């Protein structure tokens, strides 16, 4: 099974602003603005041009939000990564 590594595109640094339960994200490459929930916004903020696998991202979310690392959190992170990828906000590389 190939492992997925997630990252943002360095040519288009995302502008992220957090507002209570929402997060606004501007993608300069596409010229689009997205409204995300706070969880997705936090996860997106952990991503950078340096690729990370989902286990690293789960650990970052758990540490940053004070959550336990368990299967539920893993599933939430995986689902949000898929959503962010579908919106074109992040990239994926499989190795």
pTM: 0.91
Domain ranges of the chain: 4-11+39-92
Gap between the Cα atoms of 53 and 64, Å rounded? 17
- 1 pLDDT exceeds 70? no
Gap between the Cα atoms of 91 and 5, Å rounded? 8
Q: What is the pLDDT of residue 50?
A: 86
Q: What is the mean pLDDT of residues 45-74?
A: 94
pLDDT in tens, 4-47: 999 998 888 999 999 989 999 999 988 999 999 999 999 999 99
Gap between the Cα atoms of 38 and 22, Å rounded? 5
pLDDT in tens, 70-91: 999 999 999 999 999 999 999 9
**93: pLDDT confidence band, cut at 50, 70 and 90?**
very high
For residue 22, list its beta bridge partners.
19, 37
């Amino acid at each position: 099974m190939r492992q997925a590594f997630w990252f943002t595109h360095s040519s288009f640094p995302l502008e992220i602003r957090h507002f209570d339960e929402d997060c606004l994200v501007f993608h300069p490459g596409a010229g689009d603005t997205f409204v995300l929930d706070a969880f997705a916004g936090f996860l997106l903020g952990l991503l950078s041009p340096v690729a990370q696998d989902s286990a690293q991202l789960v650990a970052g979310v758990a540490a940053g939000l004070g959550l336990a690392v368990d299967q539920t959190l893993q599933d939430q992170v995986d689902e949000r990564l898929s959503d962010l990828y579908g919106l074109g906000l992040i990239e994926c590389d499989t190795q």
